[in-house]
Amino acid sequence: MGGHEQIRVLKDLDADIRDRDVLLVEDVVDTGLTLHYLVRTFELRKPRTIAAATLLDRPYRRLVEDLPVRYIGFVVPDELFVGYGFDLEERWRELPDLRLLRLEAPPGTGELG
């Protein structure tokens, strides 16, 4: 993506988080840029604590250090996963489990592992 990604908040919080414990839930923590932005933004609102939980983690891809990732489902390789809500071009999202997508063929014709 070239390092010029912008984070755009479409919906702000409805509740005041001052003096509250905040848990951010992410599907994947990769570079950490999005999580870093959210943590810094929420810290301005003076929560008591702030932590993050993620289903999939790729700590070796971090561009930001010192993230409060406290709960991790799985540390995964730098490969594409589909199913369980994850998709590629709107395909395979409905699978009941996570599967590794092998893209040895042209995109859109990948094989599920």
Question: Is 7 within a domain?
Answer: no
Burial 73-93 (b: 16+ CB within 10 A, else e): eeebeeeebbbbebbeeeebe
**Backbone phi, psi, residue 81, to 5°:** -110, 145
Residues 57 and 44 in one domain: yes
Residues 68 and 113 in one domain: no
Residues 65 and 83 in one domain: no
Residues 98 and 67 in one domain: no
17: three-class secondary structure by DSSP: coil
Strand partners, 83: 86
Stated pTM of the model: 0.79
Active site residues: 30
Domain count, the chain: 2
Range(s) of the domain holding residue 113? 79-113
Question: Is 100 within a domain?
Answer: yes
- Residue 104 or 25, more confident: 25
Residues 52 and 104 in one domain: no
Residue 49, Cβ neighbours under 10 Å: how many?
11
On whether the CB atoms of residues 113 and 81 are closer than 8 A, the answer is: no
Report pLDDT digits (tens) over 3-43. 556 788 888 899 999 999 999 999 999 999 999 999 999 99
Residues 85 and 60 in one domain: no
